[in-house]
Amino acid sequence: LQINHAGRFAHVADPVAPSAVPTFGRTPCELGRREIIAVQKQFAAAARRVKEAGFDLVELHGGTGYLLAQFVSPRTNKRMDAYGGPLENRMRFPLETLKRVQDAVGGFPIGYRFLAHEWLPDGLDLTESVAFACALSENGIAYISVMGGTYESFFLPEVVRSSKKPGYMVPLAQAVKKQVSVPVVAAGRVASRNGAEAV
């Protein structure tokens, strides 16, 4: 079961995010330190319920530009504290969240839906995302499910054109696969058996 916090994309009155970066005409509230810890504990509690409900594993949704990815992205994280600035700080929130989830569920498998490239000029790209993937791998993630794009880039003309091609996200997964020791899942128009076998 996949668990998620949409952050600045949440359809609520007052969305929250790492920083107050506007999206689709709305500006989210920047999370404070106590709120960050509260969200991490909510991820852990949700993962515990997943395990208790009898699922085989839990997946943290760090793709599509959701909250976990928003902290990693230089585009959406403008913080000046321990959770912002260099990549080491920007990946602190998802790595701490992973640790809290691990503590909550013991040896239960935890996967990660992974944003490898935002496809935006000032967004996260493979240079930094691959380093983050390595950190996830080193910190006990069960697998990394790689995708590209966010709700702010999915409808850009060049992304729409690219998305019509079979396996259009596979090169992102390939780049991650070369650097990590855990299983990697490829996505993005892998729609036939032959296409999957080719990948």
Q: Considering all CA atoms of the chain, what is the largest pairwise distance in Å, rounded to the nearest integer?
A: 49
Nearest C-alpha neighbor of 31 from the set 78, 88, 75: 78
Residue of 66, 83, 143, 168 marked catalytic: 66
In order, the DSSP letters of the chain are -EE---GGG--SSS-EESS---BTTB-PEEPPHHHHHHHHHHHHHHHHHHHHTT-S-EEEEE-TT-HHHHHH-TTT----STTSSSHHHHTHHHHHHHHHHHHHHTT--EEEEEEEE--STTS--HHHHHHHHHHHHHTT-SEEEEEE--TTTTTSHHHHHHHTSTTTTHHHHHHHHTT-SS-EE--SS--SHHHHHH-
- Let me know if 143 is a catalytic residue: no
By annotation, the residues acting in catalysis are 66
